[in-house]
Structure 1
Amino acid sequence: MTPAERGLRADAERNRRRLLDAAEALFRERGLDVGVAEIAERAGVGRGTLFRNFASKEDLIAAIVVDRMSDAVGEARGLLDAADPGEALFEFLWIIAGRQQLDRGLFEAVGDAWLVNDEIRAAHAEIVGVMGQLLERAQDAGAVRADVGAMDVLIMFKGVCEAACAFAHVDSDIVRRQLDLLRAALRADPAPQPLRGRAPTLDDVERAAQKPTAPVKPAAPVKPAAPAG
C-alpha cells in the first residue's frame, strides 16, 4: 500500500469513527428519530460520506451496537486475570446491565437483527465465548455451581437487563436486587438442587428467537424438582 493509499484509508476510518460518535451522541440526546442529515452535520461530513460508510440509518445503528458489544468483550477479557474469579463474573454482568440501560434504545432498535446481521452475530458469539471463560474460572474456583453453562447465565441475566432498562428511573437498587438473586441462584455453596435438562447453547438461543414454521407442540406440565436428599 502506498503512502497516499494509507492516507486515504486513515481518512476513511476517521470519517467512520466521527459518524459513529456523532450518531451515538445525538441518539442519546434526542432519541433515534434524529435524521441522517443531522448526523452527517454533527460529524462534519457530507451525506454522501455517511452513505458510503453505512447503507442506511439502520446499518449505522447496528454498527454502534457492534461497537458497544466489542467494548464489553474487551472489558470481560480484562477480568480474566482477576484475583477473585467469582467476583469477576458478576462484575462483568453488572457492567453489561449498565450498558443495556444506557443503550436501551439502540438495542431495542436492532431487535432480532442479530439473527441476520453477521457482524452482530459475531459480536454476540464473542460475548458468549468470553462469558464462558469467566464462568469456567468462577466454577474452577468453586464460586459458581458446576452444572450451568454460559447460555444458562445469559438467559437468566436477560431479566436483569430488562430490569435495568425498566427500573433505572425508579430505583437502581431494584436492579442490584435482581443481580443478587441471580448470584444466589448460581452459588456453589450451599449445595444446590440438581438441574433438569441440559445447558442451552448459542444455537438453541438463535433457534428460539426465530418464529416456528409449524405449530409448536405444548410442553408437558413442569413438576417441581424433588427436594435434595
Structure 2
Amino acid sequence: MTQSERALRADAERNRRRLLDAAQELFRERGLDVGVAEIAQRAGVGRGTLFRNFPTKQDLIAAIVIERMNEATEYGRSLLDAPDAGEALFGFLEQIVGRQQLDRCLFDAVADTFLANQEIRAAHAEVVRGLDDLLTRAKESGAVRSDVGAMDVLMLVKGVCEAASALAASEPGIVGRQLDLVRAAISPSAADRPLRGRPPTLADVERAHPAPSARAAATVR
C-alpha cells in the first residue's frame, strides 16, 4: 500500500468514526428521529460520505449497536482474571445495564428484530459467551447458585432495563436496586427453592428470532 493509499484509508476511517460519534450524540440527545443530514453536518462530512459508509439509517444504528456489544464483550474478557469471580460477574452486568440505559433508544430500536441482522446476531452471541464464562467462574467460586444459565441472567437484566427505564431519570437509584434484587435471586442462598424447567439457551432465543433466510425457508416449506 502506498503512502497516499494509507492516507486515504486513514481519512475514510476518521470520517466513519466521526459519523458514528455524531449519530450517537444526536440519538442520545433527541432520539432516533434525527435526520441523516443533521448527522452528517455534526460529523463535518457530506451526505455522500455518510451514505458511502452507511447506505441506510438502519445500517448506522446497527453499526453503533454492534460496537456497543463488542465493547461489552471486551470488557467481559478483561474481567476473566479478576480475583473475585462474583464481583466480576456483577460488574459486567452493571456495565451492560448502564450502557443500555445510556443508549436506550438504540437498543429499543433493535429489540424485536436485532437477530435478523447477522452481524448483530454474531455480536450478541459473543456477549452471551462472555457472560457464560463469567457466570461459570462465579458458580465455581460459590458466588452464584449452580442452576442458572447465562440466558436466565440476561432475561432478568433485560427486565430490569425495561421496567426501570421510566423511573431512572427521576429515581437514579432504581436500576441499582433492581440489580441488587437480581443478585439476591441468583445467590446460593436462594437455591433452597429449586427452579422450575430448564435454563434457556442462546439457541432457544435464536430459534425464537429466526434470521430472514430461515423465515423464508420456513415459508417455502
Global fold match (TM > 0.5): yes
Q: Which residue of 2 aligns with 1:216?
A: none
**CA–CA distance in 2 between the matches of 1:150 and 1:11?**
40
Which segment is superposed worse, 171-180 or 119-128? Answer: 171-180
Larger Rg: 1
Q: Name the SS for the 1:170 alignment partner.
A: coil
Q: Which residue of 2 aligns with 1:74?
A: 74
Deviations 1:189-219 (A, max 9, x none): 3643222322211121123346xx9xxxxxx
Q: Which residue of 2 aligns with 1:151?
A: 151
Structure with the bigger percentage of helix: 2
Deviations 1:121-177 (A, max 9, x none): 111111101000110110110110112111111112111111342221231222222
**CA–CA distance in 1 between the matches of 2:114 and 2:148?**
24
Q: CA RMSD in A?
A: 1.7
Aligned length: 211
Identity of aligned residues (%): 69
Structure 1: which 5+ residue stretches go unaligned? 214-229
1:70 Cα offset (Å): 1.4
Matches within 5 A, 1:141-220: 141-189=141-189, 191-209=191-209
1:41 Cα offset (Å): 1.1
Q: Which residue of 2 aligns with 1:39?
A: 39
Q: Name the SS for the 1:182 alignment partner.
A: helix
Length-normalised TM-score, structure 2:
0.89
**CA–CA distance in 1 between the matches of 2:118 and 2:11?**
25
Residues 100 and 165 of structure 1 are in contact (CA less than 8 Å); yes or no, is this contact kept in structure 2? Answer: no
Structure 2: which 5+ residue stretches go unaligned? 216-221
1:3 Cα offset (Å): 2.8
Residues 97 and 164 of structure 1 are in contact (CA less than 8 Å); yes or no, is this contact kept in structure 2? Answer: no
**CA–CA distance in 2 between the matches of 1:202 and 1:179?**
22
Which segment is superposed worse, 109-118 or 136-145? Answer: 109-118
1:73 Cα offset (Å): 1.4
